[in-house]
Structure 1
Amino acid sequence: MEYQDEPFPALIEKRVDGEPDISARERAVLEACRRKNLGDLRMLAETPGGFVTDRVRQRAWPVLLGLPTDTEASLDAPTWKELPRHRDEDQVKLDVNRAFIYYPQHQNDAELERQKDELSSLILEVLRRYPYLCYFQGYHDICQVLLLVLPPVLRAPAVARLSALRIRDFMLPSLTPAISQLRLIPDILRAADPALYRHLSSTEPFFALSGTLTMYAHDITTLGEISRLFDVLLAREPVFSVYMFAAIVRSRRDELFDTPRDEPEMLHSILSKLPRPLDLESLIAAAMALIDAHPPEKLQSWRSISKASVLKTARDADRCTAQSMADGERFFRRQLRELAWLERQDKILAELWRYRRPAGAVGIAVLVGVVAVLLRRPGAAWAGGPLAYVSALLVRLGR
């Protein structure tokens, strides 16, 4: 399906409120879309105003997400309703029932129910077509924004690519990758604002979970603001969202210093809610300055981020746009294996502690057996290397 100019026939128009004519920016965005010039689109997304209108976003967002031009053909038979039910559909229903609280303003209950049905269908289509993805609470907030901005034919393909290639870390069966992203925020603050970092040192960065997990769609209450923020979040690499929250924290510096550092619950309460009013343009500029001055590769916690995480597989936004859905599933499977390995490691550490004072060789033999079972590897294969390390560690612990 080729993008045509017909949906945007009247781009040369004067604003009657005395503000400058914005048609030049609209034309610039559409020209960048026509040429698929991601650099120009990124620049336009970052500068004040972003893509300006939803009719222009209908062209820009699909380009940034790398939608193929044969979108309609890719959604041929079977229809999503014929596919097996996804395991998370009951939770989807519960969340959709709570959707559209702030926007748009529906004329009546029938209109609201129709839009909830559309949102439910959008989410279920993506989950049934890509059943490896796990639904998370707040996903419906993200999908709601794309539903309200994009035309129907582009919604499911756009949400699918966003899910597999840009927010994949959140669609795993564990929150561990999401928490790993949050660990970057203290590192950013330590590099950019040591005094503020020290003041917040007793506060875990979980205050940023809702914002980063939902691309801020759960916390921003106007469609205009969240659409504007999506311009830059879709144009930039996924790690930009983390820097955005670090910029939000720094914007509240005075308020935070007015709260004693030995009251982490109060600090957490302040940080878990976005400031009002929300000066998006200043925050976007501040986040860009932070990522330029302190790129993630220089942050200590970056080493703990999985190589299969979207933060690394989509570190280059242009490369992410060119990735396929098959790439997304491959990275997902790799992360899934890593999570299973980490779970086994935790079990091993628990057993190490349990047998920290074993009865000599018998205790060592027991532990070796436990390790072999947990790792599902033959004991003989671990006669050297890891087994020797475990044995030596066990001897030290038993002294």
Structure 2
Amino acid sequence: MKVENDAAREPIPKSHEIEYSETKSDEGEKTKEKVQQIKKILAEDSVNINKLQEFAISPGGFVTNEIRQEAWPKMVGIDLESIPPKPDEETLHGHRDYNQVVLDVNRSLKRFPPGLRERRPYFLTKQNKNKSQMLKNLAYHMYEICCLYIKIGQRSNSCGTVRKIPQLIKRKETKEMAKWKSKNMDENIRLGLQDQLVDLIMRVLVRHEELHYYQGYHDICVTFLLVVGEDVAFALVDKLSMNHLRDFMDADMDRTKHILNYMYPLIGRVNPNLRDFMESIAFNITGWNPW
């Protein structure tokens, strides 16, 4: 089973990286100062992880993907020189959770950069091919009729316009084809990213047989994939899955339900009235799962 089709994987253009824009001069200066402070920390022989964590949870986080690519591995504590190689396709696709992962990834269009939407190429549909050929034939027939009128001396004021129709049709098709190529390129990139996302997830699950996939895990993985690429993203997610995300990856939801019991006290600290209302209607904590 493949992710929609076997489109060739495309490299992720830098234009797809999300950067924070400087809308005001004062904010721009603060952002520049923040970037300089983060880079200074990253340049130290002994990186201050606590300081990086403070910047990570501050507004705007690490500001640019360039900084994230350097900061994330150091925060998580991974060695970029010892990332395990990817298993073969048969091993990845033979895992018990593979089909569910593919279904979730195929539904994750909104998580990919703007412009990578699924669209059917204009000139690949049989109907549009027929319409295009009909327009060509009509244009040339009109042109031939106009030439015949000229030869017999029955000139028409519209002959000049009619004479240009074949060129106009050709020019229109050239523009449409350029638009189609752009859309098709975005489509190939998106499909390539989806393939990488599936492989990234399966690499973690195959390496740790005790881990079980849960819906929403792919949303975490795609964030790392878009910033650092598949191999580094795998190393990051692999480490997080065995630590921060471990309780959510059991075969059952017992530990997840236990963690959800903390939701009421947390809500009560922020909005006691909301907590009291939810308790009064006996809101089941398992209702938090989709959120």
Fold conserved between structures, TM > 0.5: yes
Distance between the aligned counterparts of 1:15 and 1:127, measured in 2?
40
Higher relative contact order (CA 8 A, sep 6+): 2
What is the Cα deviation at residue 170 of structure 1? 1.1
Q: Where does the alignment leave 5 or more consecutive residues of structure 1 unmatched?
A: 1-6, 8-13, 212-399
What is the Cα deviation at residue 37 of structure 1? 0.8
**Are the aligned partners of 1:179 and 1:206 in contact in 2 as well (CA < 8 Å)?**
yes
1:99 paired residue number:
108
1:208 paired residue number:
288
Q: 1:137 aligns with which of 195, 208, 215?
A: 215
What is the Cα deviation at residue 45 of structure 1? 2.0
2:54 paired residue number:
43
Distance between the aligned counterparts of 1:176 and 1:16, measured in 2?
46
What is the Cα deviation at residue 46 of structure 1? 2.8
The SS at the match of 1:210 is coil
1:158 paired residue number:
236
Distance between the aligned counterparts of 2:84 and 2:35, measured in 1?
30
Q: Is the aligned partner of 1:28 residue 2:37? A: yes
**Are the aligned partners of 1:136 and 1:170 in contact in 2 as well (CA < 8 Å)?**
yes
**Are the aligned partners of 1:135 and 1:171 in contact in 2 as well (CA < 8 Å)?**
yes
Distance between the aligned counterparts of 1:75 and 1:102, measured in 2?
27
Structure 2 CA distance for partners of 1:189 and 1:114, relative to 1, 3 Å: closer
Q: 1:170 aligns with which of 240, 244, 248?
A: 248
Counterpart amino acid of residue 138 in structure 1: G
TM-score (norm 2): 0.60
Counterpart amino acid of residue 168 in structure 1: R
2:187 paired residue number:
109
Counterpart amino acid of residue 121 in structure 1: D
Structure 1 outlier segments of 4+, above 6 Å: none
Structure 2 CA distance for partners of 1:194 and 1:132, relative to 1, 3 Å: same
- Identical-residue share of aligned pairs (%): 30
What is the Cα deviation at residue 110 of structure 1? 1.9
Q: Is the aligned partner of 1:124 residue 2:205? A: no
2:87 paired residue number:
79
Point out the structure with max Rg over C-alpha.
Answer: 2
RMSD, aligned CA: 2.6
Structure 1 residues 290-301: aligned runs within 5 Å:
none
**Are the aligned partners of 2:201 and 2:218 in contact in 1 as well (CA < 8 Å)?**
yes
Number of residue pairs aligned between Structure 1 and Structure 2: 196
1:60 paired residue number:
71
Distance between the aligned counterparts of 1:196 and 1:99, measured in 2?
32
**Are the aligned partners of 2:212 and 2:250 in contact in 1 as well (CA < 8 Å)?**
yes
Distance between the aligned counterparts of 2:211 and 2:276, measured in 1?
38
Structure 2 CA distance for partners of 1:118 and 1:74, relative to 1, 3 Å: closer
TM-score (norm 1): 0.45
